[in-house]
Amino acid sequence: MSAVPKPALPAERQAFYAKIDQANVTPLWEVLHSLISATPNTPCKPYLWKWATVHPWILEAGKLITAKEAERRVLILENPGLRGRSRVTHSLYAGLQLILPGEVAPAHRHSQSALRFIVHGQGAYTAVDGERVTMSPGDFIITPSWTWHDHGNPSSEPMVWLDGLDIALVELLDAQFFERPPEEAQHTTRTAGESFASFGNTMLPVNHEPRSRTSPLFWYPYERTRAALATLAKSASPHACYGHKLKFVNPATGGSAMPTIGTFMQLLPQGFRGKPYRSTDSTVYSVVEGAGRMKVGGETFAWGPKDTFVVPSWMPYTLEADGEAVLFSFSDRPVQAVLDLWREQEG
């Protein structure tokens, strides 16, 4: 089918456009429909990265460059509709980071907020603002904006985690800052588990006054999260679209654990067949347990443990599980919500 030709502009209108163009002015009516569309018009596409495919590449990268040389040895998960832009969605970044036994990823800090979700391996640590925790698969960990952080692996096995950052959002606002300290690793000045003891047991220090929108609890261990989902599954019926789903929160405020990135964990019961669902936040999923399928846009993506997949904004999709399955996910929902932009639709 041939494209419908656009009618030629009258000569005087063309001349007017040329005249105002010299002063960096352009007519709204020529671009209005592309600027304000009837529904979200994202270039983001659905896609799935199979662990069986990317894991050998991650290990190969470990032979080609050290963690110190790379600063962060990461393979970026680029959305196929956003190639070359280091984005998994229009607003967020995702990558799989490797740290080998004996390595240290040097300390730095940046204005971008970051999460790491542990995918593979056990025994490596992360240090955030002077407190160090040992990481295990399924753990969700926050690096708040402008906090010193470094990672090390004293274990005997490689460790891989999923990084999620609000790089595109910060870039849009021209608020990027980055700094390295003189030392490779920060000095740990706080007791391991101190933040969890203070904020991870439905209690707060009596004199705590929130100084940030980011949760003061930066480590959410999977053991606790999984137990909460299991208890919920015994006492409540699953949602028709997304099963049993919990969001990670800031215990000091009740809001999102991160101000720019929403983080969630959900359990799909055995044999779950979800009804169609869509929302305005493009969402990145990491499979913790189980296997199943995502059906979206006429395509079916079969997922299993450690796979990563992305669902674009406002594109209806369904989730199905064979046995019981657990999925971690993140999106820019908190930003959309505070701007009164976020919406969802079921069925």
How is the chain split into domains, by residue range?
47-346
- What is the share, in percent, of the chain residues with pLDDT greater than 90? 90
Task: Give backbone dihedrals phi and psi of 62, rounded to 5 degrees, phi first.
Answer: -65, -20
Question: Is a pLDDT exceeding 60 seen at residue 277?
Answer: yes
Confidence of residue 182 (pLDDT cuts 50, 70, 90): confident
Question: Is a pLDDT exceeding 90 seen at residue 216?
Answer: yes
Confidence of residue 3 (pLDDT cuts 50, 70, 90): low
- What is the share, in percent, of the chain residues with pLDDT greater than 70? 98
How many Cβ atoms sit within 10 Å of the Cβ of residue 145? 21
SS (H, E, C) the chain: CCCCCCCCCCHHHHHHHHHHHCCCCCCHHHCHHHHCCCCCCCCCCCEEECHHHHHHHHHHHHHHCCHHHHCCCEEECCCCCCCCCCCCCCCCEEEEEEECCCCEEEEEEECCCEEEEEEECCCCEEEECCEEEECCCCCEEEECCCCCEEEECCCCCCEEEEEEECHHHHHHCCCCCEECCCCCCCCCCCCCCHHHHHHCCCCCCCCCCCCCCCCCCCEECHHHHHHHHHHHHHHCCCECCCEEEEECECCCCCCECCCCCEEEEEEECCCCECCCEEECCCEEEEEEECCEEEEECCEEEEECCCCEEEECCCCCEEEEECCCEEEEEEECHHHHHHCCCCCEEEC
What are 134-145's pLDDT values in tens digits? 999 999 999 999
What CATH number was assigned to the domain covering residues 47-346?
2.60.120.10
What are 78-95's pLDDT values in tens digits? 999 999 999 999 999 999
Q: What is the mean pLDDT of residues 271-291?
A: 98
Question: Is a pLDDT exceeding 70 seen at residue 4?
Answer: no
At 188 the pLDDT is 73
CA 339, distance to chain mean position in Å, is 19
At 73 the pLDDT is 97
